[in-house]
């Protein structure tokens, strides 16, 4: 693949990333409007034609790794393992 072809592909990728970011922003704005309406009505579930939107409270328990690392540093090191991954980026 030539440098010119590669540049064209990267330019196209950047354009599509911009379109995707714009679309994601619109999706989030629409979700926010629905959530605002649900909050205004004081409901966790709302029906609109064949669609049901839910905005529910979810409780979960998460392990506080920062506190554990601070209080049990050596044990944290014993159970930490190094992993390898690859990261793609264009600057």
Residue in the structure block whose two tokens are 């669609």: 51
10 contacts 88 by C-beta, under 8 angstroms: no
> What per-residue confidence (pLDDT) applies to 88?
93
Q: Hey, where are the domains in the chain?
A: 3-61
Instruction: Answer whether 0.85 is exceeded by the pTM.
Output: no
pLDDT in tens, the chain (91 residues): 999 999 999 999 999 999 999 999 999 999 999 999 999 999 999 999 999 999 999 999 999 999 999 999 999 999 999 999 999 999 8
54 contacts 48 by C-beta, under 8 angstroms: no
């Amino acid at each position: 693949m030539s440098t010119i072809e590669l540049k064209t592909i990267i330019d196209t990728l950047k354009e599509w990333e911009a379109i995707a970011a714009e679309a994601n922003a619109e999706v989030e704005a629409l979700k926010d409007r629905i959530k605002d309406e649900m909050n205004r009505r004081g409901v966790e579930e709302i029906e609109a034609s064949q669609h049901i939107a839910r905005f529910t409270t979810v409780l979960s328990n998460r392990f506080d790794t920062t506190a554990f690392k601070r209080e049990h540093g050596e044990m944290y090191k014993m159970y930490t393992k190094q992993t390898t991954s690859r990261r793609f980026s264009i600057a």
